[in-house]
Chains A and B, each alone.
Chain A
Amino acid sequence: MTYFVCVVGYCSLLGFLTLKTMNEKILEKLSILADAAKYDVSCASSGTTRPAVKGGIGTATGWGICHSFTPDGRCISLFKILLTNHCIYDCAYCTNRRSNDVKRTAFTPQELAELTIAFYQRNYIEGLFLSSGVMRNPDYTMEQMLRVVKLLREAYRFNGYIHMKAIPGASDELIAQAGRYADRMSVNLEIPSEENLKLLAPEKSYSEVFAPMRFIQQGMLESAEERKKFRSAPRFVPAGQSTQLIIGATPDSDRQILTLASALYRRPSFKRVYYSGYIPVNRGDSRLPALAAPPLVRENRLYQADWLMRFYEFKATEIVDESHPDLDLDVDPKMGWALRHPEFFPVDVNSAPYEMILRVPGIGVKSAKLIVVSRRYGRLSIPQLKKIGVVMKRAQYFIVNRELPMQTVNELTPQYVRRQVTQKQKNRAAELLQYAIEWGE
């Protein structure tokens, strides 16, 4: 908001009126550009620590902070906003595609920087997540975005978190500059296979998306190398990169999605892959399925599978394979694996290694760690396991303990166990199954 400094008396009235209409304009921009940004699910403010700088505003804590939760249950950590919803592309799945008849607008870099600071000062947000439609061309758009983050970091001495989209097709020079200001950068793959991307977004290609990803990674590795030699060498995207895949807009299988995700996680710079259940924003396009509701359960299962790959030492090929290309919607992927591999069980929690305990359904990372340190003091009983946090409803079929009669998955058969663990779930509404997205890393 530009304020008019009025020196003459009557000017203040004029100034006030202008201010009011300007504010209404900004309110409208905010409404349009937040609405257009909401389908990007990433919101994490984690992965980097920024200690306070003298005379500046803001810090980053390393683990991310959610400042609010919208009625859809999603976290607001960053001020997620588009610089503009003008777009030269016409991607079938996108609400901002050029053939859509929607109101178009754009923030000036100054307006957006001021709003970010005002929100930050009130503890509404951890920082800015800046994305944008592609205006004129990728370079022009990237330049405008760069102006916002430059203003924030230099003029306002903003030291909070910044997540920035890299616009595919923008020059390396611009992305290199952005990487100096941003904590995290991301480029969205959106569609899990190249042939389907070609179908839905003929103007885009995988190679165009992978190019900035590679460039960001290279910059990160170089900066890390430099900083080993000189501690003061500038940081480059210290919180790494992420991407998003839309689920259910194309016939791609979970196997395809998880194989792609696990390939991405093998890259050293990759911190997160987000899965976004497709919401039919553009009805009437014959290339897209007419879904009654977004595939929330499938999205949830994919996040669980993602967790298994990142924290439970599972390989994508163990979670899905040729004979099971899609995740079972009725049981979580860990239970699914356990039921397909009864020969692995039962596990004796009082003697088995950590990696094996981690494979037991109903035992999470925290419980597994507590079990491993506590059992040195003596055998753990079933009530103790329960208190530690083991969900016996699921774990009982997969562990042995002296007190427990041998009623494991091997005696009861996987089919029986499957019936037992799905019975109650069937009654639960889908909303309960919606994934409680954890933003920490």
Chain B
Amino acid sequence: MILFLYDKTFEGLLSCIFFAYARKRFPDMILSDTDQQPLFADERYVVDMDKEKASRVWSSLEKKLSKIARRMMMSVWISGLPETEMLLFRYIRKNIDHPQGVELNFGDVDVLRVKEIAQQVSREAHRLVQFVRFQETADGIWFAPIAPRYNLLPVVVKHFRSRYATQPWILYDTTRNQGLYWDTHAVNEVSFSPADLAALRLGQLEGEKQSDEEQLFQQMWKEYFRSITIRERLNPRLQRQHMPKKYWKYLTELQ
């Protein structure tokens, strides 16, 4: 078994590709220092991240793969799933080895898997865009706690920045304890102390931290949600299918 060790960056992974082709050694496993190491490995290589080599690999992929395929690769990377490294390695290798590239060969398990994961990630990103709920704080900042499965803040920031350009907001990932703050000019990273975080996880801002109108509009929204439902058509299963329960935690209308 051939093992590669890398620094857990995307450039590092691309460096692994370069390394493999240069040495003609193709890994069965790509891990980082923090991963659980296997007891035995026939060959073990520490691959250093090399920006220049990484960009050479990437520009060769740019020539061969469509923008969609490259974006799908980035989505797989964002997913952080355990299979990420080897899946991307095989995907890139197949594309390099095939004269026209294989991005449209969905009969291939790896090509299909890349598409599946990319779809999952973009579905999750879309759900953020759907189910984020801002609350107006007493100091005029619009605050929304989120808890997505993947680290999607960088993916959705553009949407919220252009939609709510004139209102300062914070999107806060309570599982990763990191947030983004838009002050109407720029986006900055913020994080809260553990004590604050515990309160944030509840989803609802405490009374004195809310603006005067916040409770009122939350009440209006709940009333709207109740009134717009057609009782003759109740179908909670369909509701959950579109809006799985794991997203309910921060939904104003379901508190």
- The chain A residues found within 8 Å of chain B, CB to CB, are 23, 26-27, 30-32, 34-35, 37-39, 51-52, 54-59, 61, 65-76, 79-80, 115, 118-119, 121-124, 277, 279, 293-294, 296, 370, 373-378, 380-381, 384, 387-388, 431-432, 434, 436
- Name B133-177 residues within 8 Å CB distance of A: 133-136, 142, 144, 159, 162-167
The 4 closest A-B pairs by CB, nearest first: A73-B238, A34-B227, A73-B235, A377-B105
A116 to B28, CA, bound (A): 56
Q: Are A70 and B228 in contact (CB under 8 A)?
A: yes
7 sample A-B contacts, Cβ–Cβ < 8 Å, listed by A number: A30-B220, A52-B163, A57-B166, A121-B164, A123-B134, A124-B253, A432-B237
| Distance between Cα atoms of A74 and B252 in the complex (Å) | 17
B108 close to chain A: CB less than 8 A: yes
Considering the complex, give the chain A residue whose CB is closest to the CB of B219: A27
Q: Does B107 contact A (CB under 8 A)?
A: yes
A384 and B225 contact, CB distance less than 8 A: no
CB–CB A72/B239 < 8 A = yes
Q: Which of B14-22, B29-37, B124-132, B198-206 contacts A (4 or more CB under 8 A)?
A: B124-132
Judging by beta carbons under 8 Å apart, are A387 and B109 in contact?
yes
> What CA separation (Å) do A84 and B234 show in the bound complex?
26
Q: Nearest chain-B residue to A36 (Cβ)?
A: B227
Structural contact, B234 and A71, CB atoms closer than 8 A: yes
In the bound assembly, the distance between CA atoms of A177 and B39 in angstroms comes to 74
Whether B105 and A69, one on each chain, are in contact in the complex, defined by CB atoms closer than 8 angstroms, is: no
199-255 of chain B: CB within 8 A of chain A: 213, 216-217, 219-221, 223-239, 241-243, 251-253
CA A2 – CA B237 in complex, angstroms?
A: 41
B192 at the interface (CB under 8 A from A): no
Q: In the complex, are the beta carbons of B220 and A72 less than 8 A apart?
A: no
Report if B121 contacts A (CB, 8 A).
no
- Whether, in the assembled complex, B86 has its beta carbon less than 8 Å from a beta carbon of chain A, the answer is no
B112 contacts chain A at the CB level, 8 A cutoff: yes
B residues in contact with A69, CB < 8 Å = 238-239, 242-243
Among the listed B235, B239, B242, B252, which residue makes an inter-chain contact with A124, where contact means beta carbons less than 8 Å apart?
B252
Q: Which residue of B lies closest to A81 (CB)?
A: B224
Q: Is B87 an interface residue (CB 8 A)?
A: no
* Alpha-carbon distance A51/B158, docked complex (angstroms): 12
Q: Given A121-B164, A377-B102, A434-B235, answer yes or no on A115-B220 (Cβ-Cβ < 8 Å).
A: yes
Whole-angstrom CA separation of A154 from B226 in the bound complex: 31
Flag if B220 contacts A123 (CB, 8 Å). no
Chain B residues lying within 8 Å of A71, measured Cβ to Cβ, are: 229, 234-236, 239
Is A378's CB under 8 angstroms from B107's CB? yes
Tell me, in angstroms, the Cα distance from A75 to B231 when the chains sit together. 15
With A and B bound together, what is the CA distance between A431 and B231 in angstroms?
Answer: 13
CA distance A102 to B239 in the complex (A): 29
Contact for A279 among B144, B213, B233, B238, CB less than 8 A? B233
Contact A79 B134 (CB under 8 A): no
Within 8 A of A (CB), among B105-120: 105-109, 112
Q: Report chain B residues within 8 Å CB of A32.
A: 227
Contacts A52-B165, A72-B239 supplied; 18 other A-B pairs, CB < 8 Å: A34-B228, A65-B126, A65-B130, A66-B130, A70-B228, A70-B230, A72-B230, A73-B233, A76-B228, A118-B220, A119-B220, A121-B136, A294-B233, A296-B233, A373-B106, A378-B107, A380-B107, A381-B107
Given the known inter-chain contacts A70-B239, A73-B242, A374-B105, please indicate yes or no for A38 contacting B227, CB distance below 8 A: yes
